[in-house]
């Protein structure tokens, strides 16, 4: 399968007191570039998530957003720190023994006292299994979306390859006749321009020039490159860099075809090929 480098995935897990939210976004890049935006409470999960992504993807700029959200509707613990409360009461009593007019501690002051309320925050160890499960699910979703996008890209490229094959088929039968026709015209012009030249010399010059404008070899190489692109699309895998190289080779042959052709018909075919190649090349940049 051909995979695009563009994809998106989002996963959320409700754990009662908290919820975990994870997003993965990927776009095209020459290499695999990972960027993380993770809250401090889940920062320890980054190495494991990085390892999971690196094992599944080979190219693309991937951004991972992971955060822990407190569920407002979830009941919170208001358990008091009994030992601290007793110590605070003893301390107040001693102060009032020395300063009888001192004001009593209010309930609000007691509750705000550092450490008085039990800490009901969720530790990383509690949520680590859920985070890893969430990351695997999000990665599965991301790979699936990249695969679907890759299918669309491959279909578009195949469509243009088929059109290029049709264009080559149109040009190939005309090449020998076009070369012969141009040879005849050139021979006539040379004879008219230089009547004193040796006939053998004229034939040699015309034959040499005919070799230079013969585009049969370029057409054969175009077919070979088209076949190779289709083979790579069928084989799948991380094919983006190979396809990009082949787009360059296709463009090189199309340029040569356009520059060597002495017939407007073949030049028009070459120009249409260049448009098709450029369309494919833009899409290949997004293939993993």
Task: Please give the full DSSP string across 62-121, using - where no structure is assigned.
Answer: EEEEEEEEE-TTS-----B-HHHHHHHHHHHHHHHHH-TTSPPPPHHHHHHSTT-B---P
Joined tokens for residue 165 = 């094959």
Average pLDDT over residues 5-26: 90
| Residues 6+ positions from 184 with CB-CB distance below 8 Å | none
> What is the reported pLDDT for 6?
93
Q: Alpha carbon of 116 to those of 95, 96, 109, 141, 282: distances in Å?
A: 20, 21, 10, 44, 62
Tokens of 212: 């230079």
Instruction: Report residue 195: phi and psi, to 5°.
Output: -70, -20
Report pLDDT digits (tens) over 100-120. 888 888 888 877 777 766 555
Tens-place pLDDT, residues 125-169: 778 888 999 999 999 999 999 999 999 999 999 999 999 999 999
Which two structure tokens, joined as six digits, stand for 57?
Answer: 């993807």
Q: Is the pTM of this model over 0.75?
A: no
Phi, psi of 75 (to 5 degrees): -65, 140
- The Cα 276–Cα 282 span in angstroms is 10
Report which of 84, 87, 66 is spatially closest to residue 13, judged by C-alpha positions.
66
Average pLDDT over all residues of the chain: 83
Strand blocks (E) in 108-248:
none
Rounded CA-CA distance 213/175 in Å is 10
Question: How far apart, in Å, are the Cα atoms of 51 and each of 8, 40, 139, 150, 165?
Answer: 19, 19, 11, 23, 43
Q: Is the pLDDT of residue 7 over 80?
A: yes
CA distance 80 to 99: 27
Q: What is the pLDDT of residue 98?
A: 84
CA-to-CA separations, 110 to 75, 81, 117, 137, in angstroms, rounded: 21, 11, 9, 45
Mean pLDDT, rounded, for 49-54: 94
CB 245 within 8 A of CB 232: no
Q: Binning pLDDT at 50, 70 and 90, where does residue 14 land?
A: confident
What count of residues does the chain have?
288
Beta bridge partners of 23: 10, 65
**pLDDT tens digits along 17-38:** 788 899 999 999 989 999 999 9
Distance from C-alpha of 54 to C-alpha of 58, rounded to nearest angstrom: 7
Of 125-129, 153-157, 176-180, 247-251, the poorest mean pLDDT is in 176-180
Range scoring the smallest mean pLDDT among 118-132, 160-174, 214-228: 118-132
Element (H, E) at 202: helix 199-213
**Predicted pLDDT of residue 193:** 56
């Amino acid at each position: 399968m051909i995979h695009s480098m563009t994809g998106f995935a989002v996963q959320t897990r409700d754990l009662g007191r908290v919820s975990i939210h994870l997003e993965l976004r990927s776009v095209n890049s020459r290499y695999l570039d990972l960027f993380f935006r993770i809250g401090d409470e889940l920062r320890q999960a980054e190495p494991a998530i990085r390892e999971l992504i690196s094992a599944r993807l080979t190219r693309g700029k991937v951004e991972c957003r992971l955060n822990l959200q407190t569920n407002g509707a979830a009941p919170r613990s208001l358990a008091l720190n009994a030992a601290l409360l007793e110590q605070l009461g003893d301390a107040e009593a001693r102060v009032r023994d020395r300063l009888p007019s001192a004001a009593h501690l209010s309930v609000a002051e007691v509750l705000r006292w550092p450490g008085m309320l039990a800490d009901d925050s969720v530790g990383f160890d509690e949520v680590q299994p859920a985070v890893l499960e969430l990351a695997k699910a999000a990665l599965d979703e991301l790979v699936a979306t990249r695969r679907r996008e890759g299918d669309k890209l491959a279909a578009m490229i195949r469509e243009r390859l088929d059109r290029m094959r049709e264009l080559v088929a149109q040009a190939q039968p005309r090449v020998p006749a076009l070369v012969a026709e141009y040879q005849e015209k050139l021979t006539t012009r040379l004879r008219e321009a230089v009547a004193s030249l040796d006939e053998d010399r004229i034939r040699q010059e015309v034959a040499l020039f005919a070799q230079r404008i013969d585009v049969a070899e370029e057409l054969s190489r175009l077919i070979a490159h088209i076949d190779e692109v289709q083979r790579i699309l069928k084989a799948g895998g991380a094919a983006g860099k190979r396809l990009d190289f082949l787009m360059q080779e296709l463009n090189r042959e199309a340029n040569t075809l356009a520059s060597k052709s002495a017939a407007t018909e073949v030049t028009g075919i070459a120009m249409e090929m260049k448009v098709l190649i450029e369309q494919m090349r833009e899409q290949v940049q997004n293939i993993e």
